[in-house]
Amino acid sequence: KIGNIHFVDVFSEEFNRDMAPMKGGHTDNLYYQLISNIRKYKGMAAPQVFSAPSTINIDGNYSEWATVSPVFKDPKGDVIHRNFKSYDPTVQLINTTGRNDIIESRATYDADNIYFYVKTVDVITSNTDPNWMLLFIDADRSKGTGWEGYDYVINFGVKSTTETTLKKWDGKSWGNELTIPYKLVGNEMEISMPRTAILMDKLTPEFSFHYSDN
């Protein structure tokens, strides 16, 4: 009958033809096995070489980023709005929160600062939008600290068209605000923050970062 669905592909963990991740079981192992075997069959691009440290002027001249690598890319079109019927035809699933479609990001550094670059498909929306172009930083690369593993966030409280904020997770909320510069032109944005703000005193800074818009 309509709405009476049987997932026979996931009858059990052993007899499973579905690569979807599973909590408390094989996690995302099947997905990574799929990737590994596709790469063995089709090949893959060689790992990108890390470019030398570079000083970036936060002025909207994005040509300075052309030689910065690696380039982190994200699939296009993953912010498409949803408006479909559920398996229960009386329920309509609607999600219109998708906004800026991020497709590329880069990072570099010099002796004093760390710099970030991000590019979207279309013109980036107004900085007054809620949860706008958040940039999370895992400074100690530990999932056991910070908010969901992230110790700092950028853009969670934009000051103006040229100044934004860097905040630190204190265990309960984002605080210890520091004002930092940024520049947005069209569908590209660059940000600078002092290395000392996230205690990056190593010659080569090591951290993880993650963009999230809305």
User: Concatenated DSSP letters for 99-116?
Assistant: ---EEEEEEEE-SSEEEE
Rounded to an integer, the average pLDDT of 137-148 is 95
**pLDDT value at position 14?**
79
For residue 209, give both structure tokens.
Answer: 């970062």
Give residue 202's pLDDT band: very low, low, confident or very high (50, 70, 90).
confident
Rounded to an integer, the average pLDDT of 113-122 is 98
Measured CA to CA, the distance from residue 49 to residue 65 in angstroms comes to 15
Tell which residue, 151, 167, 170, has the closest CA to residue 159.
167
What digits encode the pLDDT tens for the residues 33-81?
999 999 999 998 888 999 999 999 999 999 999 999 999 999 999 999 9
Q: Say whether pLDDT at 12 is over 90.
A: no
Q: List residues bridging with 87 in a β-sheet.
A: none
**pLDDT value at position 41?**
95
Within a 13 Å sphere around the CA of 177, how many CA atoms are in the beta-carbon half? 10
Rounded to an integer, the average pLDDT of 76-90 is 91
Reported residue count of the chain is 214
How large a percentage of the chain has pLDDT more than 90? 80
